[in-house]
């Protein structure tokens, strides 16, 4: 009975990686599915088991563990990060002069994909139901940027030089050449915020003497579900926490081969009375290669698994918002969705 309960517990809580397939991939922890286990929803039990552990955080990325949730919730959170956290991006491009070799449409598309350093929480969504024009833009929903640059010959260039960087001035147009032109009272309201492109070295176009660009751009608030340029993340992904179990002692040459089957840092060798013995040091570093299953004498001494309710999230920001702020904003969006669902359910019940 104890062995049976142990097997059921493994099916409920672990995904097992086998030589020819993956077991226990489906969520089955609903009430009555397993005799002896109470899988009914309990808020107190969920609050006790759920936690978020930040493993790494810097200016551009965050890695954290989300423990105690179902894969459906984890995936909803990932999709919100990808497509439903608002940002500011270039929506309208007014080209007054473009004598470069880059076509207007290509140039406008290229400008639209440049991430803009502006806090979207300080702006309102622009009314999508109306045909927007330059005159309808206001300081509460639009950021105006300008790109005005002209290429000319460098009078100080050496006659024998063939390097364009020495021969010409302003021949390389970068994102740093885009300037913010405040609308209304934006200069006072955003005095402490430096609205600009996130990166200064994004190449926009190459010019030659006599060619110029004169462009005005309007940034508006939007979500990536409407266009990818509004996505606040470069990547947002998760994986289950690896679990590696040695079923029997592995020594000597076998231990060395076992160590080489995994990523660096997963398996280590310790000296036990002059013999090298393998031990699992940090299974979190495993990349799920399953290389060990290719060795006939090793595949039966190790068990590869994943903890079903332990998700390792990696979020890389585009630089518009810090990664920890993105996570907080995604949680707010998810909460708003839940509140909307509850309101709809309550209104249906009343009817």
Cβ-Cβ contacts under 8 Å for 222 (sequence gap 6 or more)? 86, 87, 88, 89, 91, 125, 230
Domain boundaries, the chain: 88-229
The yes/no answer on whether domain 88-229 falls in CATH 3.90.1300.10 is no
Terminal-residue alpha carbon distance, the chain: 50
Q: What is the pLDDT of residue 212?
A: 96
Task: Please tell me what DSSP assigns to residue 251.
Answer: B
pTM, rounded to two decimals: 0.84
Q: What is the pLDDT of residue 29?
A: 67
Task: Please tell me what DSSP assigns to residue 85.
Answer: S
Dump pLDDT digits (tens) for 74-88. Answer: 999 999 999 999 999
* Rounded (10°) CA dihedral 160, 161, 166, 169: 70
CA distance 17 to 21: 6
pLDDT means per 10 residues, the chain with 351 residues, are 61 83 76 74 87 94 93 93 95 96 95 94 77 67 95 88 89 95 90 90 95 96 94 94 92 90 91 88 89 89 91 95 95 93 81 57
């Amino acid at each position: 009975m104890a062995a049976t309960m142990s097997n059921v517990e493994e099916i409920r809580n672990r995904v097992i990686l086998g030589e020819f397939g993956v077991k226990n991939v489906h969520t089955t922890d609903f009430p009555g599915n397993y005799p002896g286990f109470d899988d009914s929803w309990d808020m107190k039990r969920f609050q006790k088991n759920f936690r978020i552990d930040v493993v790494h955080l810097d200016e551009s990325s965050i890695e954290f563990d989300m423990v105690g949730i179902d894969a459906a919730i984890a995936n909803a959170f990932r999709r919100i990060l990808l497509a439903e956290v608002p940002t500011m991006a270039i929506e309208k491009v007014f080209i007054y002069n473009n004598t470069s070799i880059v076509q207007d449409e290509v140039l406008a598309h290229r400008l639209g994909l440049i991430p803009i350093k502006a806090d979207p929480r300080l702006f309102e969504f622009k009314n999508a139901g109306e045909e927007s024009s330059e005159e309808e833009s206001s300081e509460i929903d639009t950021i105006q940027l300008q790109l005005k640059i002209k290429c000319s010959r460098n009078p100080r260039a050496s006659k024998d030089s063939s390097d364009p960087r020495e021969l010409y001035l302003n021949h390389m147009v970068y994102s740093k050449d885009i300037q913010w032109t405040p609308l209304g009272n934006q200069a006072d309201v955003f005095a402490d915020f430096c609205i600009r492109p996130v990166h200064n070295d994004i190449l926009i176009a190459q010019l030659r003497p006599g060619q110029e660009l004169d462009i005005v751009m309007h940034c508006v608030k939007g979500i990536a579900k409407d266009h990818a340029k509004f996505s606040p993340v470069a990547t947002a992904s998760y994986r289950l926490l690896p679990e590696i179990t040695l079923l029997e002692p592995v020594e000597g040459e076998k231990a060395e081969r076992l160590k080489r089957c995994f990523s660096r840092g997963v398996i280590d060798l310790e000296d036990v009375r002059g013999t090298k013995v393998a031990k699992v040091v940090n299974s979190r570093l495993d990349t799920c290669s399953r290389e060990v299953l290719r060795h006939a004498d090793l595949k039966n001494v190790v068990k590869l698994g994943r903890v079903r309710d332990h998700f390792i999230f990696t979020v890389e920001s585009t630089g518009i918002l810090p990664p920890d702020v993105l996570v907080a904003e995604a949680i707010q969006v998810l909460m708003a969705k839940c509140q909307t669902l509850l309101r709809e359910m309550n209104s249906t019940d009343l009817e």
